[in-house]
Amino acid sequence: MLYTQKTKENGKVCFALEGRLDTVTAPDLEKELKEALDSSAAELVLDFTKLDYISSAGLRVLLAAQKIMAKQGTMKVVHVNETIMEIFEVTGFSDILTIE
Amino acid sequence: MDTQELNIEALEKNLPQVLRFVDDLLELAGCPVKTQLQIDLAVEEIFVNIADYAYAPGEGSAVIRAEISENPRKAVITFFDRGIPYDPLEKKDPDVTLSAGERPVGGLGIFLTKKSMDEVTYAYKDGQNVLTMIKRW
């Protein structure tokens, strides 16, 4: 299960994720992100405070979002837990993404 | 050592059921949460691979055997399917130094499986793909 809390204000889009970002839940998030990231979106913040788990399906969504935002603004991932951070490091995502 | 098997249609929508099967056994064995998440990751990647490719364009089933012991603390998880013979471990590891723009979307699943488990082996036996992975904690 994945719960997403979304806010959008003055071009700043924030998604707070809770639960698991996996093969089952990643397509829904991808769809929601594509809807939110119209041309007015200049900043994307993904809050991982309550995200427990990410698999390669989730990484694919992050990479797709990063590619969109590289063209029109900035993206950062905040409050990443230790387990997910290790996955970012192993896959080189820690170099691709802005993590705070 | 406690051995249990789950025989299930290899469909992506069955992933939560597969993870529940494995997680319940790991919890019983007192596996730490972090290790459990690493095992979940590998189980997801392998099961989804079977669901997406083994029987394409048709459908088929998979058997997941979990042998979990507390002494020594170890999980051995084996996947069996009767699909197209395919050794996922032959796939070259992705270049993890590429920038976002240069990266192909995808191709990380098997790599993550190898990184999160201690051992992963493949064999084709009696008309079945047999992929075994081991994690100690």
Cβ of residue B32 closer than 8 Å to a chain A Cβ: no
Smallest CA–CA distance, residue B99 to chain A, in Å, is 6
Tally the domains of chain A. 1
Within chain A, what is the greatest distance between any pair of CA atoms?
35
Contact A96 B103 (CB under 8 A): yes
Q: What are the residues whose beta carbons fall under 8 Å from the beta carbon of B101, sequence distance 6 or more? A: A67, A70
Q: Do B77 and B64 contact (CB within 8 A), yes or no?
A: yes
Nearest CB neighbour to B108, from listed A53, A56, A64 = A56
| Residue B100 to residue A60, Cβ atoms within 8 A | no
- Kindly indicate the confidence band of residue A1, based on its pLDDT and cuts at 50, 70 and 90: confident
A56 touching B (Cβ < 8 Å): yes
Q: Which ipTM score applies to this complex?
A: 0.86
Cβ neighbours of A96 in B, within 8 Å: 99-100, 103
Q: B107: pLDDT confidence band, cut at 50, 70 and 90?
A: confident
Distance CA B101, CA B98 (A): 8
Does A64 sit within 8 Å of B96, measured CB to CB?
Answer: no
CB atoms within 10 A of CB B26: 22
A3-7 contacts, C-beta under 8 A, 24 or more apart: A4/A29, A4/A32, A6/A32, A6/A36
- Measure the CA–CA gap between A44 and B106, rounded to whole angstroms: 22
Please indicate if any CB of chain A lies within 8 Å of the CB of B72.
no
Q: Is A62 helix (H, G, I), strand (E, B) or coil?
A: helix
Ramachandran region, residue B17 (left: φ > 0; alpha: ψ -120 to 50; beta: rest): alpha
Domain residue ranges in chain B? 2-136
CB pair distance less than 8 Å for A96 and B13: no
Q: pLDDT tens digits for B42-76?
A: 999 999 999 999 999 999 999 999 999 888 999 99
Count residue pairs from A and B with Cβ separation < 8 A.
61
Question: Could you read off the pLDDT of B3-24 as tens digits, one per residue?
Answer: 999 999 999 999 999 999 999 9
B2-136 folds as Heat Shock Protein 90 (3.30.565)
pTM: 0.91
Helices (H), chain B: 15-28, 33-49, 109-116
- The CATH number of the domain holding residue A54 is 3.30.750.24
Nearest to A22 among B44, B100, B105 (CB): B44
Query: Which residues from chain B sit within 8 angstroms of residue A76, using beta carbons?
Result: none
Q: Is B44 on the interface with A (CB under 8 A)?
A: yes
Q: Which of residues 3-42 of A touch B (CB under 8 A)?
A: 22-24
Q: What percent of chain B shows pLDDT beyond 90?
A: 83
Give residue A35's Cα distance to chain centre.
14
Per-position b or e across A53-92, b if 16+ CB within 10 A of its CB: bbbbbbbbbbbbbbeebeebbebebeebbebbebbbebbb
Distance of CA B114 to the CA centre of its chain: 10
CB B44 within 8 A of CB B12: no
- Domain span at A53: 2-96
